[in-house]
């Protein structure tokens, strides 16, 4: 008949009916439009995250000054050990996440997981910007380097790279929510949810765990940064699924140029 309906596989039959497409007439165009929309949305997420972290967080942190920022450190943060090889996990993510994270989520969880990633990311970066502006926070990683708390040993592997990383204003201002831990928590939560494809579950959990450990054991974030960020990720995913925002986004991603119309009865001669 030329019609493929997702109504039988989608939890929401109404959304499924919206996704009916005529493969013979426009299926290829639908695919290319969906790809274009995915690329546009991914680019928008990148711009919003960059503005949130490199503009809002840094500006408001400098505006109020480090002595007036909120500090979320607990006593446990003063005894967290160093494990400097984790810089190999921590450092690349702000630069590769734009390509790697969406690709991993799409490959591992399909369109449902990618839609949840998209909506969750916009929620996290918008709310994160508000928090950065209203409550600038800092873990002041340079304090650890200088010996106020756990001193970074001079002979530690990657010592110079970590010193330079911790001197960066972008790592001092606006540390909660932690976007590194957002990416980590997203990997872990999506990997543990039903529907993840075979072979992806454990690698995603391990990668998420390593990212979180890197933020703690390089003293770039404190325990409360991790706890709050994981809680925010879970809350936003709950809202997304409860309101079926992911299904609505999927419908928009693969909305055809025209919907299939029911066939008209043929009048007898």
In whole angstroms, what is the distance from residue 258 CA to residue 231 CA? 41
Q: How far is CA 160 from CA 167, 214, 247, in A?
A: 11, 16, 47
DSSP string computed for 217-260: HTTSS-HHHHHHHHHHHHHHHHHHHHTTHHHHHHHHHT--SSPP
Nearest to 250 by CA among 4, 3, 14: 14
Q: Is the peptide bond before 177 cis (omega within 30 degrees of 0)?
A: yes
Q: State residue 73's pLDDT score.
A: 78
Q: State residue 147's pLDDT score.
A: 44
What token pair was written down for 71?
A: 């500090």
Strand ranges inside the chain, DSSP E: 3-4, 21-22
Evaluate whether 215 touches 221 at the Cβ level (below 8 Å).
yes
Q: State residue 164's pLDDT score.
A: 76
Spell out the per-residue pLDDT of the chain, length 269, in tens.
Answer: 333 333 334 444 444 444 444 444 455 676 777 778 888 888 888 889 888 888 888 777 777 665 656 667 788 887 888 898 999 998 887 667 777 888 899 999 998 999 999 999 999 999 999 998 888 776 555 555 544 456 777 788 888 888 777 666 554 545 789 999 999 999 999 999 888 998 999 999 999 999 999 988 888 888 999 999 999 999 999 999 999 999 998 888 777 555 545 555 555 54
Q: State residue 268's pLDDT score.
A: 53
Helix axes 23-50, 93-134, angle to 10 degrees: 60
Of all helices (H) and strands (E), which one includes residue 18? Answer: helix 13-18
Q: State residue 10's pLDDT score.
A: 46
Q: State residue 28's pLDDT score.
A: 64
DSSP string computed for 136-163: -B---HHHHHHTSSSPPPTTSTTHHHHH
Q: What is the domain partition of the chain in residue ranges? A: 11-253
């Amino acid at each position: 008949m030329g019609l493929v309906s997702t109504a039988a596989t989608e939890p929401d039959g109404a959304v499924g009916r919206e996704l009916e497409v005529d493969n013979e007439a426009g299926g290829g165009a639908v695919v290319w439009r969906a790809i274009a929309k995915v690329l546009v949305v991914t680019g928008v997420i990148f711009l919003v995250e960059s503005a949130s972290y490199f503009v809002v967080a840094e500006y408001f942190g400098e505006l109020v000054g480090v002595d007036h920022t909120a500090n979320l450190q607990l006593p446990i943060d003063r005894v967290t050990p160093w494990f400097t090889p984790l810089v190999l996990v921590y450092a690349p993510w702000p630069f590769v996440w734009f390509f790697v994270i969406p690709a991993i989520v799409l490959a591992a969880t399909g369109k449902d997981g990618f839609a949840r990633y998209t909506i969750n990311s916009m929620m996290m970066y918008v709310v994160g910007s508000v928090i950065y502006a209203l409550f600038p926070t800092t873990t002041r990683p340079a304090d650890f380097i200088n010996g106020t708390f756990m001193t970074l040993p001079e002979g530690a592997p990657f010592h110079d790279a970590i010193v330079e990383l911790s001197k960066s204003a972008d790592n001092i201002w606006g540390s909660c929510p932690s976007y590194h831990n957002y990416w980590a928590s997203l990997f872990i939560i999506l990997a543990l949810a039903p529907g993840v494809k075979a072979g992806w579950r454990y690698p995603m959990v391990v990668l998420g765990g390593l990212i979180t450990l890197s933020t703690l054991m390089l003293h770039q974030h404190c325990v409360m940064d991790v706890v709050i960020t994981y809680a925010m990720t879970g809350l936003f995913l709950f809202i997304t699924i409860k309101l079926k925002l992911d299904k609505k986004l999927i419908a928009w991603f693969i909305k055809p140029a025209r919907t299939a119309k029911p066939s008209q009865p043929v009048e007898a001669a």
